[in-house]
């Protein structure tokens, strides 16, 4: 248990430093000092050094987000109003993306430093969720709740809303000047009203 806790401390500390200083601006010595360990202990846990730490932080955080997004998609039930289901999904997506701001900042800043095949993990994860959301909208149309349309484009529109809202929280780009969850509900209600016409 102590080893797992120490490993977690190293990853958390490195993530915080990467978010603040960038991958290239963070030295192993900075990580050691931040976490309060020696060089030897850090290399014991991560023999590949800083690069291995970056890859590990990235992969583990992405896997957690993927599981959370799948759970959110599974919660969209046919017996729930579409507006409510989609707002619930997008608010959950927003919270999932922003609950770990240090990771999101690190990802925006240092994605090009990822060397493994996991580099495109986030894009692939979004594509798979996009396909699932497209299927949800198609089923809702088949049930007569909305009209036929380009379901893939509609799903893309919804996911873009969630990503734009998350971007506001982790950058200085403020394209949404109101409370985020209300904004999401209003945008979803507007979209669904157009899909019913």
Report the distance separating Cα 140 and Cα 144, nearest Å.
Answer: 6
pLDDT at residue 121 in the model: 66
The single residue listed with the structure tokens 């994605």 is 111
Nearest to 95 by CA among 171, 158, 180: 180
Nearest to 134 by CA among 154, 149, 148: 154
pLDDT tens-digit profile, the chain (197 residues)? 588 899 999 999 999 999 899 999 999 999 999 999 988 888 999 999 999 999 898 888 777 777 777 777 777 766 788 999 899 888 988 888 788 888 877 877 777 787 766 666 667 777 878 888 999 899 999 989 999 999 999 999 998 888 888 877 767 677 667 788 999 999 999 999 999 97
pLDDT at residue 96 in the model: 81
pLDDT at residue 141 in the model: 94
Q: CA-based Rg of the chain, rounded to a whole angstrom?
A: 20
For the chain, list the domains and their CATH numbers. Answer: 58-196 (1.10.357.10)
pLDDT at residue 74 in the model: 75
Report the distance separating Cα 194 and Cα 17, nearest Å.
Answer: 45
Q: Give the global pTM.
A: 0.74
| Number of Cα atoms under 13 Å in the Cβ half of residue 125 | 19
Neighbours of 81 (CB within 10 A): 10
pLDDT at residue 122 in the model: 66
Report the distance separating Cα 76 and Cα 163, nearest Å.
Answer: 19
Nearest to 73 by CA among 60, 90, 97: 90
pLDDT at residue 65 in the model: 75
DSSP 38: -
Sign of CA dihedral 95, 170, 183, 74: negative
Alpha helices in 46-176 (DSSP H): 49-74, 82-98, 101-110, 121-142, 151-170
């Amino acid at each position: 248990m102590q080893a797992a806790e120490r490993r977690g401390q190293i990853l958390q500390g490195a993530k915080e430093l990467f978010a603040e200083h960038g991958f290239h601006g963070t030295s192993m010595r900075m990580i050691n000092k931040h976490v309060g360990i020696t060089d030897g202990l850090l290399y014991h846990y991560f023999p590949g050094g800083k690069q291995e730490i970056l890859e590990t932080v990235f992969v583990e955080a992405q896997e957690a987000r993927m599981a959370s997004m799948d759970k959110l998609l599974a919660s969209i039930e046919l017996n729930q109003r579409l507006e409510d289901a989609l707002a619930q999904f997008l608010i959950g997506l927003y919270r999932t993306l922003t609950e770990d701001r240090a990771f999101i900042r690190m990802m925006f800043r240092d994605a090009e430093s990822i060397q493994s095949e996991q580099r495109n993990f986030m894009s692939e994860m979004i594509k798979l969720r996009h396909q699932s959301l497209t299927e949800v909208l198609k089923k809702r149309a088949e049930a007569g709740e909305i009209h036929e349309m380009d379901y893939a484009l509609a799903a893309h529109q919804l996911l873009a809303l969630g990503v734009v809202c998350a971007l506001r929280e982790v950058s200085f780009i403020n394209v949404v000047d109101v409370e985020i969850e209300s904004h999401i509900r209003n945008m979803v209600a507007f979209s669904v009203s157009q899909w019913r016409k």
